Amino acid sequence: MLNGIKLKEYARTNGVSSQELAEMVRIGGRTEKQALAAVKNWQNCLYKPMPTSEDIEALARGLHVSVNAISQWSSRHKYAPTSPTKARLVARLIAGRTAQDALDTLKFTPKRSAEMVRKVLETAISNADEQEADVERLYVSEARIDGAGRRIGTKGWIAKDRGRAHPIRKQASHIIVTVAEN
């Protein structure tokens, strides 16, 4: 996937305007106006329309960098059986660290959600490895935990004394980890 921040940074350092980048990604039947809008969205980290692999290769050729230099790889675990508040404590530990350092930190973190975050991080690293990225230079660019509502399979209420009912608040979360190359 395209990393919008690095795209903007490389375009500024190489002196390439958005108009020139739009000319490079006009493949696929885009008009000049659509291509310019797409490039500006990608530079602002809005991925509508979603960049294809041909778009990323064309941008890399135009900026004179490798494809991996402007790419990022992510992985997610949807409806993880842990509350978002508890999982965010673990996610804050690894954000911004190198991938190997983050794995070591998660291995020795005594939290239940650390194992789930570690598996998602390993999947993101293997996604990068499949695209022939340098695994030694990877760092965690984003570790995000989103709320997913009530955990699947839990009832909404539990019966209590004298006909009362108390709510069950077992929460689920979506774990998203993104890695990029330095």
Q: What is the pLDDT, as a whole number, of residue 90? A: 94
Helix (H, G, I), strand (E, B), or coil: what is residue 124?
A: helix
- Domain range 4-70, CATH architecture: Orthogonal Bundle (1.10)
Closest CA to 73 of 38, 13, 120: 120
Q: Is 165 exposed, middle or buried (0-12, 13-18, 19+ CB in 10 A)?
A: exposed
Q: Using the structure block, give the residue that is written with the tokens 């990877």.
A: 138
> 102 to each of 91, 107, 119, 156, how far by Cα in Å?
10, 9, 12, 36
Break the chain into its structural domains and give their ranges: 4-70, 72-181
- pLDDT mean for each 10 residues of the chain (182 residues): 80 81 76 83 82 81 82 91 93 93 94 94 93 89 90 80 87 93 86
- Give yes or no on whether 4-70 and 72-181 have one common fold: no
Q: What is the pLDDT, as a whole number, of residue 47? A: 80
Q: What is the pLDDT, as a whole number, of residue 28? A: 65
For the structural domain made of 72-181, what CATH number should be given? 3.90.470.10
